[in-house]
Amino acid sequence: MDYHPESRHRYHLDRAPLVGFGAFGRFDLLGTEEKGMTEDKEILIEHYRQMREDLLCAIHGLSDELMIEPSIDSWSVKDHLAHLALWDDIRASEVARISAGHGSAWRMTGEQDAAFNTLGYSLRRDLSLDQVRWEFATSRQRLIDAIAAATPRGLDPALYGEAGLRSGHEAMHAGWIRRWRGERGI
């Protein structure tokens, strides 16, 4: 199986699950797109730092052998980290793109999202654990740097596509890893 069977990515939790958000932005009760409500940079950066700390706690103490074992619904912990790094890179590019006054390049249907995740998994599954660790660390730093440099426009979550500005994506993966560890007693 190439794509994670728990493909909640179809509903992509990268966008904050707030009432009033549609697939492509925030809408009022009449269906008119709202713009202008921006995220606070420092709060957003802290959100990403806390999520990373939570995920690092979820993988703490795992041996390299366990990190590469494909036993979390056919993915390894390494595969989860590679997947998260891919989405951090996309999100960082979106912050820079939208801050520069351009539109989102990542508006996808559920089918496109699933196909992209399958492709990303396929392209990254053979990376070494060392490279995935590097990708995981550097992609998050690129995201933090992009947020720190964002314009007010770049902090408007209504302007984002599938790689939403505020994401719960990493927490979802940390939960799957914790569940796996609990089931295995590790």
Residue 88 lies in a domain: yes
Q: Is residue 70 part of a domain?
A: yes
Write down the pTM of the prediction. 0.81
What does the DSSP assignment read for 10-52?
GG-TTS---TTEETTEEB-TTSPBP------HHHHHHHHHHHH
Rounded to whole angstroms, how far apart are CA atoms 164 and 49?
16
Query: Residue written as tokens 């520069």?
Result: 100
- In the predicted structure, residue 158 carries a pLDDT above the cut 70: yes
Asked whether 17 and 85 are in contact (CB, 8 A), the reply is no
Query: What pLDDT does 40 receive?
Result: 96
Average pLDDT over the chain, rounded to an integer: 85
Full domain range(s) for residue 155 = 8-184
**Any domain includes 147:** yes
Is 47 part of a structural domain of the chain? yes
The answer as to whether 176 is a domain residue is yes
pLDDT of residue 17: 34
* Residue 35 pLDDT level (bands cut at 50, 70, 90): low
Report pLDDT digits (tens) over 49-76.
999 999 999 999 999 999 999 999 999 9
Number of structural domains the chain divides into = 1
The CATH number assigned to the domain holding 147 equals 1.20.120.450
